[in-house]
Amino acid sequence: MTIPARPPQLYDYDTDGTSIYQKSFGMIRAEADLSHFTEAQATVAVRMIHAAGDPSLAEQIAFSPGLVDAARTALRGGAPIYTDATMIAAGITRRRLPADNDVICALQDPRVPEIAQAWQTTRSAAAVSLWDRLEGAVVAVGNAPTALFQLLEIVAAGGPRPAAVLGIPVGFVGSPESKVALAQNPYGLEWLVVHGRRGGSALASSAINALSREQEI
């Protein structure tokens, strides 16, 4: 192919992707208070802070002690990853996954509207009922508190148990409460949360990307 000519560079900016990552991660480690994390947890937190563009996020990130090991073991073993939003699935870097893991968002499944109607709940929550390989899976909720509550209710009712649950829904209604419910879950689930209202697909996929591979970049 014929490569078009690059227009003159008018602005002074870094164009080396690896260098940008390294500088960014260095700035985050210099600015964020990571003292309440283990080293492995800090690696996950740094990537989430990078996705948020805000070192203060560190204060809201919390892990169960076994989360990192449980998620990494599950991913290496080929566990599927379930998400509540297509954006999270789009943000997961496939080449970082250790076992070419399936990444599944059931929101577009044609059965979802009917289940949502029957259960009198959101489509996001209804989609959780279609996570049919949930036992031992890794779950990343980055959008809907209702999906996170629904998951907890499925587990509470004796349903399948995921190996690790990232509870990072964003929002003003139900979101903070859903994360507290996950972090205080009496079912023995391993968890990661971003307490409060902040969260979202970018944070959820960056957490998965960090857990997928031990090397930071």
Q: Distance of alpha carbon 131 from its chain centroid, rounded?
A: 16
Which lies closer to its own copies via its Cβ, residue 40 or residue 115?
115
Known catalytic residue at 50: yes
15 binds its own copies (CB under 8 A): yes
Which part of the chain contacts its own copies (CB under 8 A), choosing from 6-14, 61-69, 133-141, 208-216? 6-14
**Could you tell me how far CA 72 lies from the centroid of its own chain?**
13
Query: What Rg, from alpha-carbon coordinates, does the chain have?
Result: 18
Cβ-count burial 112-141 (b if 16+ within 10 Å, e if not): beebbeeeebbbbbbbbbebeebebbbbbb
Q: How far apart are CA 160 and CA 215, in angstroms?
A: 31
Contact stretch for its own copies (CB under 8 A) within 5-13, 34-42, 66-74, 208-216? 5-13
Work out whether 120 is an interface residue with its own copies (CB under 8 A): yes
Question: Binding of its own copies at residue 122 (CB under 8 A)?
Answer: yes
Residues involved in catalysis = 50
Task: Kindly list the residues in this chain that would bind its own copies in the complex (CB under 8 A).
Answer: 1, 3-4, 6-11, 13-17, 20, 23-24, 27-28, 50-54, 86-87, 89-91, 111, 114-115, 118-123, 125, 129, 145-146, 149, 152-154, 156-157, 159, 170-175, 177-178, 181, 196-202, 205
